[in-house]
Homo-oligomer: A and B are copies of this chain.
Amino acid sequence: MANLSGVSVRTLHHYDRIGLLKPAVRTESKYRLYGENELLRLQQIIFYKEMDLSLKEISEILDKPGFKMIQALKTHKDALIAKKYRMEQLIVTIDKTINKIKNNEVMAQPEELYEGLNKEKMLKYRDEAIDKFGKEAIDHAESELMKMSKTDFAQLKEEADENFRCLYLLKEEDPESELVQNEINLHYQIIRKFWGTSGTTDKQAEAYAGLGQLYVTDERYTTMEGKPQPEFAAFLCKAMDYYATHHLK
């Protein structure tokens, strides 16, 4: 049986033990003898294993017919798509890391963290943020930022600026429209990078909505070309609040 199918003897033992594939008969000397039915079942098992299903899932599929099976396969397909996506992300990240090492870019120093930004302003923002979100969160965020290289940081800042410009252009749209919400989602992802990803999801949701309030109450954060934009601030606040309540659990 093992030779015919290509699986190991140990594997057959294992399948026997867990009840996935029992031998047709057991001789008096305890030898496992398999028949044609067992071979066919084994081949099904191998097939589903190739599709990365767990043995538990396989036995559920093999012992039930039709509809359930499609459901299981679809679920599994989604999982595979997610995995594939993850692989892609990781590949990109690795490439970036390799480049960083090659360029001898070391982790940024704390002093450089706010480089390129108005230092005073940032420190004020920092204090305010500590009040709003707690010292732990900010400490965490800073340690996250410190792990980034200069180019990474510059890129993140660029992304954030671009995103902000996009949102500004959408300020006449419905804050709850898909268009706006997509951009808000991007905003949230970027902000998360500044914060790091600590805290539970609902705490994060709360904090994110809170950040929206911050935009409204402090026009410094919604000033375009020197001019305060209170309506834009209100728009942002609505969009962020909607996002927090509807997309962050």
B-contacting residues of A (Cβ < 8 Å)? 3-6, 39-40, 43-44, 47, 50-52, 66, 69-70, 73-74, 76-77, 80-81, 83-84, 87-88, 90-91, 93-95, 97-98, 101-102, 136, 139-140, 143-144, 147, 197-198
Given B4, B43, B80, which contacts A147 in the complex, CB threshold below 8 Å?
B43
- Knowing A101-B69, A136-B4, A143-B39 are in contact, say whether A87-B90 is a contact too (CB < 8 A): no
B80 touches A98 (CB 8 A): no
A73 touches B87 (CB 8 A): no
- Knowing A4-B136, A4-B139, A140-B4 are in contact, say whether A80-B69 is a contact too (CB < 8 A): no
A6 touches B198 (CB 8 A): yes
A4 touches B198 (CB 8 A): yes
Q: List 8 A-B contacts (CB under 8 A).
A: A4-B140, A47-B147, A50-B93, A70-B101, A73-B98, A80-B91, A80-B94, A81-B91
CB neighbours of A80 from chain B (8 A):
87, 90-91, 94
CB neighbours of A44 from chain B (8 A):
147
| Complex Cα–Cα for A40 and B143 (A) | 8
CB neighbours of A77 from chain B (8 A):
91, 94-95, 98
CB neighbours of A40 from chain B (8 A):
143, 147
A40's nearest neighbour on chain B, judged by CB, is B143
B70 touches A143 (CB 8 A): no
CB neighbours of A5 from chain B (8 A):
198
B198 touches A70 (CB 8 A): no
| Complex Cα–Cα for A5 and B3 (A) | 50
| Complex Cα–Cα for A198 and B3 (A) | 8
| Complex Cα–Cα for A51 and B97 (A) | 10
Least Cβ–Cβ distance between A244 and chain B, in angstroms:
21
A139's nearest neighbour on chain B, judged by CB, is B4
In the A-B complex, the 10 residue pairs with the smallest Cβ-Cβ separation, listed nearest first, are A84-B87, A77-B94, A80-B87, A80-B91, A83-B87, A73-B94, A80-B90, A73-B98, A6-B198, A51-B90
B101 touches A76 (CB 8 A): no
Least Cβ–Cβ distance between A106 and chain B, in angstroms:
11
B74 touches A84 (CB 8 A): no
